[in-house]
Amino acid sequence: MAVRAKKLKAKQQLTDESEAWLQGDEKGAGFFKYSTDDELAALWATHSDRIVAEHVAEYPGSRPARWWQQSAPRIPLGTSPGCYYDGKLPEPRKRLGGTGTPASEVLAYVPTFSYGLPAIWITPWQVKYYGGTAVDIRGNPIGSLVPTDFKGVAIDMSNPPRFESQATYLKRHGLFLAGEERRLRKADWDPETVTNYE
């Protein structure tokens, strides 16, 4: 009973903005979301068990946005040597197939993930621009004047990138809560496709 009372007291001390941040509500978090990384990490550490348990009660086999940002397994240190984010980014979900290139693989973008999936993809326009075939409204070349060996590929809507489900990721890492896996449906294991560009 004392543990429950302590958790209730901790929840009561939260502001609306800090609770909104914990729930992944960027708009509701207001200026609170600009707190220091250390302050946000400490808040998450204090309340993460509750936030995850509430999320899993409604959506088993998945995790809320803040979990992916703060608690998901990290890409191993040394994967991006010399980069400020080396060892700090969440490990993405495994790619299973499909056509499309995350922007960070071929351009100077920091790898960015949303729920374990790459969030920024090469667009058809970038393929033209960096490949030397882009033109302005008058038909004049823009971008690289000489075709390059740009390796980026836009998402093919007939064969979009496919990734393991959140449930598969959680099982692979041994991260299910007690009784969570038993509540999953067959569809929770289906791969997830990416069909939009940032």
Q: Where are the domains of the chain?
A: 1-71, 72-198
pLDDT (average), residues 37-42: 95
Determine what percent of the chain is predicted with pLDDT higher than 70: 91
CB 91 within 8 A of CB 163: no
Rounded mean pLDDT, 114-124: 96
Of 16-20, 31-35, 53-57, 143-147, give the lowest mean pLDDT range.
143-147
List the single range of 16-30, 74-88, 135-149 with lowest mean pLDDT. 135-149
Q: What is the pTM of this model?
A: 0.87
Q: What confidence score (pLDDT) does residue 141 get?
A: 86
Residues 106, 22: Cα–Cα separation, whole Å: 33
**Residue 36: band (very low, low, confident or very high) from pLDDT cuts 50, 70, 90:** very high
**pLDDT, mean of residues 130-143:** 87
Mean of pLDDT values over 8-37 = 87
What pLDDT shows up at residue 196? 80
In this predicted structure, what is the pLDDT of residue 8? 46
pLDDT in tens, 59-92: 999 999 999 999 999 999 999 999 999 999 999 9
pLDDT of residue 5: 44
Mean pLDDT of 7-36: 85
Predicted confidence at residue 2, as pLDDT, reads 55
Higher-confidence residue: 3 or 45? Answer: 45
In the predicted model, what is the mean pLDDT of residues 123-139?
90
Q: Can you give the pLDDT at residue 148?
A: 74
Task: Specify the pLDDT at position 13.
Answer: 77
What is the pLDDT of the chain when averaged over all its residues? Answer: 91
Residue range 171-193: mean pLDDT, rounded: 98
